[in-house]
Chain A
Amino acid sequence: MLRFVVRRLLLLVPILVGLSILVFVWVRALPGSPADSLLGERSTPALVKEYEERFGLDEPIYVQYWRYVKTTASFDFGVSSATHRYVTDEIKERFPATVELALAAMLFSVLLGVPLGFLAAKWHGGIFDQASLFVSLIGVSIPVFFLAILLKYLFAVRLGWLPTVGRIDVTSEAKHPTNFYILDAIVTHDLGTLKDVLKHLILPGIALGSIPLAIITRITRAAVLDVQNEDYVRTARAKGLPPLTVDRRHVLRNALLPISTIIGLQTGLLLSGAILTETVFAFPGMGSWLREAIFNRDYPVLQGGILFLALIFVLVNLVVDISYAIINPRIRYS
């Protein structure tokens, strides 16, 4: 097991090096010089010169790259050209919002997708099965932002059940030391705030969770169909175990293996989808932040934000791979 983890960690090194080179080259490929890009609209010839000297942009490229690696490794992404705040500080505010949103979406899709897929496989060929296939087909065909608009129209604008925008009621005076609003509300036993924050998460969570829901339903269904005909399942039934026990201990447990990998792969989709979902619901997370950065040509934010999200994506997949190896011993030794 240790060997597997070490090998998997070593595989990270080339990816991180490649990623840093890619982003480094990207910033230099942006229209205007790096100094221009990093200064944004404040750029003047004098400022550019001063900036180039101060940050050593007139030095050889490998010296610049090395300096860039050193600052990035200490999580120093520079200063936003739009707000003049440290990019790292903004990430500290924005990232928890996106984590809560992504977790809500994941929870929604797993808690609904696994039972749906399981039942569809149980009643293979029936109406429920056909319906689940059709719904999951629609689920992967509907753009996240369109579903978000539909949900907002129906449940927020029309029925008025849920809030239309934001992460918390604007009049709320609750303090958020960690910026994880749910966590903060639980720690301070502030039930009112907790309820409010959860209400704000429902619609964006469902919108963002729709594609993973469709995919998880399909994968679960296929996995259960595969496992159902295995010899050990037949044996379990033949020796007279109650059907529910067979389903739980033999079918579902083995069918869940491929689902754990899917969850890792979905993280990327969630992060992409968050840009669109957060835009529709004016949700103050990483996604809406990056969208603003694109419009403001705020290159430090784009550079730091993209690098940070890619890093998160890689780390999540690492954790998923390792936990997959823990659940499924067959992987470790291959």
Chain B
Amino acid sequence: MSVAELEAAEVQLEAPSGLWRDAFHRLVRNPGAIAGFVFVLVFAIAAIFAPLIATHDPVEQNLLLVANGCCPGPSGDHWFGVDLLGRDLFSRIVYGARYSLLIGVVSVSIGFSVGLVLGAIAGYVGGVVDSAIMRLMDVMLAIPGLLLAIGIVAALGPGLKEVMIAVGLANVPIFARLLRGSVLAQREADFVVAARAVGVRRPTILFSHILPNAISPVIVQGTLAMATAIIDVAGLGFLGIGLQNPDETPEWGSMLTEVNEYLQTAPFLALIPGTAIVVSVLGFNLIGDGLREALDPKLRGR
């Protein structure tokens, strides 16, 4: 070993730098990702502290406000104006963040965990099990995502839990495929062969050696899936499918349903909830792109 190499080894010993630490440093230096974090943070705060932030009751109607035609726009008392039934739009948007973020997080977690288990098993066990699982995933992928979610909601009936399951299940095949590919790539890696050679049990190899190394593309996909989940939930809401009382519930997508006729007189009724959806989705997309670059610096600027 040359002197230079010895020195290099020493430097490395002093500052141990792992994949995640490096990735974190790259992530915080990416302005896009920071903007994404800010957007998501704003919505997370709105969702968690909705009762404190909202200025009015989101479902309380005040028909007097719309007595002179629809609808009074933004004012000091109603920051975002009021909707067709005189409900305060600002408060509805704040409460709406709860639905989007809650459904998004839970449904992606469902898709992630079911997909993780199926994909890991398929990739690691291989053979007939692999074929059976992956053909089932192919069939699910053959049905366009929103249509699959609609079908699942139709079978389960409307409701918050049902929408989460529907959007979550529609995500399963994507995660399962990704993880299987990742696990397959790791299966013959030296450290796995070494673990097998010293007699580590199969489940331990899968969970402590393969999965931690196969997970990074899945985390990126998870962030991007949050974005898609919010769009899908809004889409279901817009179509009036899913939640039990679409007129009552302050859900962003369903707020856009009834404004069609009022575009001429009150375009803000469509613009404000729509912008809320775009900004929150943009936030997750920015974080996802940032993570992808951080975990795989070769992709920078691609």
Binding site for B on A (CB under 8 A): 14-15, 18-19, 22, 26, 29-31, 124-125, 137-138, 140-146, 149-150, 152-153, 157, 221-222, 225, 268-269, 271-273, 275-276, 279-280, 290-291, 294-295, 302, 306, 309-310, 313-314
**B241 nearest in chain A by CB position:** A294
User: Which residues on A sit within 8 Å (CB–CB) of B271?
Assistant: 150
Q: Which residues of A contact B270 (CB under 8 A)?
A: 146, 149-150, 153
Contact B239 A276 (CB under 8 A): yes
Kindly identify which residue among A145, A280, A306 contacts B147, using a CB–CB cutoff of 8 Å.
A306
Are A15 and B139 in contact, CB atoms less than 8 angstroms apart?
yes
Please choose the segment from B61-69, B212-220, B230-238 that sits at the chain A interface, where 4 or more of its residues have CB less than 8 A away.
Answer: B230-238
Q: How far is the CA of A145 from the CA of B232 in the complex (A)?
A: 11
Does B157 sit within 8 A of A, measured CB to CB?
A: yes
| Residues of B close to A273: CB separation below 8 A | 146
Contact A145–B151 (Cβ < 8 Å): no
Q: Is the CB of A302 within 8 A of B286?
A: no
Q: Judging by beta carbons under 8 Å apart, are B139 and A291 in contact?
A: no
B→A interface (CB under 8 Å): 135-136, 138-147, 150-151, 154-155, 157, 227, 231, 234-235, 238-241, 253, 256, 259-260, 263-264, 267, 270-271, 274, 277-278, 281-282, 285-286, 289, 301-302
Most buried by A among B135, B139, B240, B259: B139
The contact of B138 among A18, A144, A153, A268, by CB within 8 Å, is A18
A275 surroundings in chain B (CB, below 8 A): 146-147, 150, 235, 239
Q: Is the interface of B mostly helix, strand, loop or mixed?
A: helix
| A-chain residues with CB within 8 Å of residue B264 when the two chains form the complex | 157
Give the distance to chain A from B295, nearest Cβ to Cβ, in Å: 17
**Assembly CA distance A222 to B253 (angstroms):** 33
Please indicate the chain A residues that have their CB under 8 angstroms from the CB of B253 in the complex.
143, 145
Q: 6 shortest A-B CB distances, which residue pairs? A: A18-B139, A272-B146, A146-B274, A268-B144, A141-B282, A272-B144
* Apart from A22-B140, A142-B278, A143-B278, 4 more pairs, CB < 8 Å: A19-B139, A31-B157, A269-B144, A273-B146
Find chain A residues with CB under 8 A from B285 CB.
Answer: 137, 140-141
User: Roughly how many angstroms separate A276 CA and B145 CA in the complex, as a whole number?
Assistant: 13
CA–CA, A149 and B261, complex, Å: 11
Q: Is the beta-carbon distance between B239 and A291 smaller than 8 angstroms? A: yes
Complex contact A137–B256 (CB within 8 A): no
Q: Are B142 and A26 in contact (CB under 8 A)?
A: no
B142 touches A146 (CB 8 A): no
A141 contacts B147, C-beta separation under 8 Å: no
Q: Which B residues touch A14, using CB under 8 A? A: 135, 138
